[in-house]
């Protein structure tokens, strides 16, 4: 009988161990895939319970956003994959932990990921305080307000002003011609409304203002009911900066849901108060809603 060396024994044992480990990994992976597939099928079965409304039935639903569908979406996002239910008790506990930890004030470092896609960018402005015309501000419809300190440098990253604003649907940005430190930023996109005066995909909350060239921002209380700022322009009237804002409001099947209503609004006190300055459409009690303001 041939004598087996220690080296050959070691190789044999190693091969057996590798085979057993590979088999275990494959078995575990298959079990995980089976669980994923099982849970996916469970979600699909839930999806089948969503009512399939006809066009006529949808017309009778008072809210065009269809909040019942949002409820399904939220359920899918927070359902426990093992218990197959929404863990209400854990949600409340998590909410309390977030409140107690003051998570919004934590120091979190974010890094930009290079991208050539900017989404629906409806507002762009060169910073009037930069004599080199390198700093640029840009507003995204659902992505907030951003700035780039050197637009001529491909390696200069865009920086978000804040992800925690009350509303980050930016539609317009403009500076005061008599004071380059004052900027105004309008919110809300009326352009994607399903039908005229219908709620669009990105509702606003008014006009943001800065008096220190963008270092700090405040929401003008007088505009918190302006749901869609279509345009903003500032006219120098004998040395006084007068702001004009084209405002559109949401309307559900002929009933206004926001106030003030549509129209052109004018402010002579830097946005502290507003006056509607366009008349109503002939034959109705709805005012004109300008889509573009030109100062001459």
Residue 3 has pLDDT above 80, yes or no: no
Query: Is 262 in contact with 276 (CB distance < 8 Å)?
Result: no
Least confident segment among 5-19, 59-73, 225-239, 244-258: 5-19
Residue 29 has pLDDT above 60, yes or no: no
Those residues with Cβ within 8 angstroms of residue 19's Cβ, 6 or more apart along the chain or in another chain:
none
Look over the chain and give the mean of its residue pLDDT values, rounded to a whole number.
Answer: 78
Those residues with Cβ within 8 angstroms of residue 43's Cβ, 6 or more apart along the chain or in another chain:
76, 79
Least confident segment among 3-7, 18-22, 106-110, 147-151: 3-7
Residue 26 has pLDDT above 70, yes or no: no
Helix or strand or coil: residue 252? strand
Query: For 148-162, b where at least 16 C-beta lie within 10 A, e where not — what string?
Result: beebeeeeeebeebe
| Half-sphere exposure in the Cβ direction for 28 (13 Å, CA) | 6
Where are any strands of DSSP class E within 105-178?
A: 121-126, 136-140, 144-148, 159-160, 170-176
DSSP 20: H
Nearest to 137 by CA among 157, 123, 118, 122: 123
Nearest to 232 by CA among 250, 214, 251, 248: 248
How confident is the model over 131-154, as a mean pLDDT? Answer: 92
Query: Is 126 in contact with 138 (CB distance < 8 Å)?
Result: no
| pLDDT band (50, 70, 90) for residue 14 | low
Type and span of the H or E element at 42: helix 6-47
Written out in words, the top-level CATH class of the domain with range 119-276 is: mainly beta
What tokens were used for 283?
Answer: 């034959």
Residue 77 has pLDDT above 70, yes or no: yes
Residue 10 has pLDDT above 90, yes or no: no
Q: What is the CA radius of gyration of the chain?
A: 29
pTM, two decimal places:
0.60
Cβ atoms < 10 Å from Cβ of 265: 25
CA distance 81 to 187: 38
Between 86 and 118, where is the model more confident? 86
């Amino acid at each position: 009988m041939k004598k087996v060396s220690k080296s050959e024994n070691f190789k044999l044992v190693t091969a057996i161990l590798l085979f057993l480990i590979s088999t275990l990994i494959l078995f575990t992976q298959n079990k995980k895939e089976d669980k994923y597939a099982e849970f996916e099928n469970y979600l699909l079965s839930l999806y089948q319970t969503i009512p399939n409304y006809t066009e006529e039935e949808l017309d009778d639903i008072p809210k065009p956003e269809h909040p019942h569908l949002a409820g399904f979406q939220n359920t899918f996002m927070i359902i426990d994959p093992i218990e197959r239910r929404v863990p209400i008790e854990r949600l409340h506990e998590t909410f309390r932990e977030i409140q107690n930890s003051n998570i919004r004030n934590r120091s979190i470092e974010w890094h930009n990921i290079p991208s050539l896609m900017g989404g629906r960018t409806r507002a762009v402005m060169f910073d009037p305080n930069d004599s080199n015309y390198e700093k640029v501000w840009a507003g995204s419809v659902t992505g907030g307000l951003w700035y780039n300190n050197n637009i001529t440098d491909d390696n200069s990253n865009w920086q978000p002003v804040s992800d925690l604003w009350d509303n980050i649907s930016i539609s317009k940005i403009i500076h005061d011609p008599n004071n380059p430190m004052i900027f105004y930023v309008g919110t809300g996109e009326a352009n994607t409304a399903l039908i005229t005066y219908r709620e669009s995909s990105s509702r606003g909350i008014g006009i943001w203002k800065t008096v220190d060239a963008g270092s700090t921002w405040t929401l003008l209380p007088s505009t918190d009911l302006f749901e869609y700022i279509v345009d903003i322009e500032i006219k120098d009237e004998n040395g006084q900066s007068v702001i004009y804002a084209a405002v559109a409001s949401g309307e559900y099947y002929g009933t206004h849901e926001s106030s003030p209503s549509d129209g052109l609004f004018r402010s002579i006190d830097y946005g502290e108060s507003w006056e509607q300055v366009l008349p109503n459409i002939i034959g109705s009690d709805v005012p004109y809603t300008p889509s573009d303001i030109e100062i001459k």
